[in-house]
Each structure stands twice: as C-alpha cells, then as structure tokens.
Amino acid sequence: MGESTVAMGIDNDAGAAPNAPPQQLMERLKDYGQEHVFALWDELSPQERHLLLNDIQSLDLSRIDRIIRCSLRSHGLSVAAIEPVPESCVSSVEERTMEERERWWKMGLKAISEGKLAVLLLSGGQGTRLGSSDPKGCFNIGLPSGKSLFQLQAERILCVQRLATHAMNEAGSVAINWYIMTSPFTDDATRKFFESHKYFGLEADQVTFFQQGTIPCISKDGRYIMDTPYKVAKAPDGNGGVYSALKSSRLLEDMASRGIKYVDCYGVDNALVRVADPTFLGYFIDKGVAAAAKVVRKAYPQEKVGVFVRRGKGGPLTVVEYSELDQSLASAVNQQTGRLRFCWSNVCLHMFTLDFLNQVANGLEKDSIYHLAEKKIQSIHGYTMGLKLEQFIFDAFPYAPSTALFEVLREEEFAPVKNANGSNYDTPDSARLLVLRLHARWVVAAGGFLTHSVPLYSTGVEVSPRCSYAGENLESICRGRTFHAPCEITF
C-alpha cells in the first residue's frame, strides 16, 4: 500500500506544513482526477494540512484508480448467461439419509479433533442498518441469557471442541482456531470486548484478530468523497476484503503452519449460525470439493436474496444478486421438481480448503472489479449519497474448481440480524424469536414440557451451547421436566 514518502517529496513527520500542496503529489492526483482533495487547503491549519497529507499518502493511488475505473465500467452490465445449479451439486435436506448425516458428523468431528478446521468470522462491517455504535457481534438480541452474538458463537465453538474431544476419546483437548476479521471501524471495540469477557472461555491464543482494508467512498463520477476537509471518506472494502487481508496479514501461512486444511467462514450477524458444523465439514471432505456453501430454499420469487447459479454451460457456480436476476428468471419454475429454477439462496455460510483460499487471495485482486453499493456517506456537506466499493466473500466461487451446495433449513440455521427493531424483518427481535422457537422444539423433542404466560408463538426457551450444539444430548436434561418460557436451559 501507498507510494513512498520520499518518492512523493513529502516529509510528514517534521517541520512546518507546506504552504501549498506538494507539486508532485498534486500532479499525481490530477492524473487520477482527484485533485479536489486539496480544494480547501488554504483554509486548513498546519496540523490539518499534515493530517491531509498523511491521509493521501496512505492511499495506493494507482491501485485505487484501477479499481474505480474497472468497477464503474463493469457496473450494470448484464450478467452472462446463467443456468440453474445442477442437482448433482446440491445435497438437499429431503434426500439426505440418516446414514449420511451420521457419517458426515463423524468425519467432521475426526477432522476437527485432528486440528484441521479453522473458523473465520467476517466482522468488519459497519452495521449501519442496525444502528448500534458497537460492532454487531457485541449486540445482545434479548435472549434470556443476555448473550451477545460473539458469545453465542464462542460457546458453540467450545461445544464442538467438547464433542470432538469426546468422540475421539482424545486424552488432551481439541482447540479450534478462530480468526476474526475486523476493520478500523470495529477492531478496537471487538478486541476489548473479547478481553473483558475473557474470550468467553476460549484460550486467548486460539483467537486471532486481523483487520481488513478500507477504500475511499466515491461519487458517481468516481471522485473521492471528503469526510472532513482533511480526510477522505473511507469504508471497509467489503467482506470479500477478507482474501487480501488474509494474505497481507500472512494468516494463510499461519493456518498452514498449524496444520489447518479447511476453513469455515461466516458472517457475524446470524444468531443461529452453526459455527464449525461437523456435518457440513464431513460433507465437504466427503465431496472433495474446493468450496461449499450452505443454502436455504428461496421463500418466494421476489425475495431479496442472492442465489447460486451456474455461469454459462458447464461453467462455475457463482452467486447472482437479486437485483441482477431478471424477473422472469426469478419466477421461472422447474416443471419436473416444481421448485423455482433458481432457488438456492446464499446465506453467507461457506467452507473452503486452505489451498483454494491461497489461490483466491492472489486471483481476486488482479480482477480489480468491486461491487458498487449506493449508500449514505458522511461528508463535509453532511450525509450524501455516494458509492462504497466492496468485494464480496462469494466473489471467490467462480474461481473454485469444484463447488457443492448443502441445503439447510432456514428455521434451523438462519436468523439474520440486519435492521434495528421496529423494521419489518431481520431484526434482533425476529432473530431472538427464531432461536427461542427452534430451541423450544429441541426441548419438546427431547421429552420436555413448556409453560408460558405469553402466547407460545412469541416466546420459547434458549438452550445453552453448554448443553447442546444442534439439539443432541438433551434427553437427560429435559425428559419429564417442565420449563417456564422464556428461560435459558443450562447446566
């Protein structure tokens, strides 16, 4: 990142700020059509001039210019011909046998006990829709336990570690390495949250934080938006920024040195996420693919979710966003199965081999094509509509030599926390209810009873990951017992 200070002719650390923007830097900015960043130079104090120079100096101007040009040019171009995902690439819930599930569960636990799985959390987003000033993972969605999203995930990792240790009769204990991607907007608060909660029972050295990059926010004509007269507005470079962040922080080497072969990757804002799911891992290993995704069935044709498609005849699987999918294709039905032709929704639950991550970390950057997201951006003129440049985690799929999809039930594994309470969908309230209802079903299936003073549809119980990961092993705790909802069931 960044051209060298010497090459720019800037000395930022010492002496008075120059009276005019350094000529050489100005020329370079002119080349890229960004010289307006110095428009308010004359009004800046010496200290602000230094800040501005440092800020511009920290930008890799030519790389950013390439990204802006490529992304603006390709924006809105129609998606290449697409086809439905072949049935052979999908394991659907209905066709999965009990024998397969058990086999995958055991295979997954074995690989976990051998230290081959790492968990990779995408947690660098700004969570603007949720409107909390803390990172999303710190958010308490109002479960009886009051646990944050981070805590729920940490305890599920602890639970899988116990299951793997137990299944393999290991003498020592199994540790799953957890890599947490933050951004400059979430890094400090995330680290402090983990420290103050003693890593939720995990060992501090099995948790690794690393930061993703940021990139300037731009106007529709590709010019940087100024956050203040001496600072360019920047945003994280999307959850697909994880590939270059893993590379630049040398964490792919770190994973290899620890013997990690598989990486389970997910977004922070799913209250039902089955982190380090042994069944999914076993399926992935069994299929021998480079990449896999858990998918849910699209609820209705116009649902605003990205779906997996095959690009061209025999091409790779990839995700097409709802805005890019033609209306007639979105509602087309497969006459044989009666399902939507494009029915497999992406919910940001992925598994990759480490080899594939290495390959992608090099390939994606070369493409220089980022998605353009029109968002409200804080600027010197107040909030203004502008463009954020983002790569997406699923941009990797077209590079995968082989991909498999694994259908899961929405009500079991997908409780998104996107919007603030009061919005119509994907709120902390709706996510809490999904957790309580699922866990209530587990308890009843294990022979427990529920009483409740509010209607059951608006409440339920929470099962601590200390007791169960996915509804297993609950009989000894629940059979014949009555629980008053809402409550947490724990040891």
Task: Compute the least distance from the CB of residue 351 to ligand UTP, in Å.
Answer: 16
368 vs 490, beta carbon nearer ligand UTP: 368
Q: Nearer to ligand UTP by C-beta: 238 or 282?
A: 238
Please state the closest distance from residue 378 (CB atom) to ligand UTP, in A.
13
Query: d(Cα 399, Cα 130) in Å, to the nearest integer?
Result: 32
Compute the least distance from the CB of residue 346 to ligand UTP, in Å: 11
Pairing status of strand 461-463 against strand 487-489 = parallel
Closer by beta carbon to ligand UTP, 21 or else 238: 238
Give the 3-state secondary structure of residue 489.
strand
Closest residue to ligand UTP: CB criterion: 125
Cβ proximity to ligand UTP, 126 vs 228, nearer residue: 126
Using CA atoms, how far apart are residues 73 and 456, in angstroms rounded to an integer? Answer: 53
Angle, alpha carbons 192-208-271 (nearest 5°):
70
- Judged by beta carbon, residue 184 or residue 315, the one nearer ligand UTP is 184
In angstroms, give the least distance from the CB of 389 to ligand UTP.
10
Q: 3 or 413: whose CB is closer to ligand UTP?
A: 413
In this structure, what are the phi and psi dihedrals at residue 8, rounded to the nearest 5 degrees?
-85, -15
CB nearer to ligand UTP: give 3 or 426: 426
Residue among 54 and 126 whose Cβ is closer to ligand UTP: 126
Q: How far is CA 155 from CA 107, 172, 289, 417, in A?
A: 22, 19, 28, 19
Comparing CB distances to ligand UTP, the nearer of 277 and 390 is: 390
> Interface residues with ligand UTP (CB under 6 A)?
122-129, 136, 181, 183, 212, 236, 238-239, 241, 267-269, 418
- Give the shortest CB-393-to-ligand UTP separation in angstroms: 7
Note whether 468 and 476 are within 8 A (CB).
no
Distance CA 190, CA 123 (A): 9
Nearest distance from C-beta of residue 181 to ligand UTP, angstroms? 6
Dig out the tokens for 143 from the structure.
């479960």
Give residue 188's identity as a one-letter amino acid code.
Answer: D
Nearest distance from C-beta of residue 284 to ligand UTP, angstroms: 21
Distance, in Å, from the CA atom of 279 to the CA atom of 285, rounded to the nearest integer, reads 10
Residue 234: CB minimum distance to ligand UTP, A: 11
Task: Measure the CA–CA gap between 128 and 163, rounded to whole angstroms.
Answer: 37
Closest CA to 411 of 436, 388, 384, 374: 436
**DSSP class per residue in 112-166:** HHTT-EEEEEE-----TTTT-SS-GGG-B---TT--BHHHHHHHHHHHHHHHHHH
CB 327 within 8 A of CB 303: no
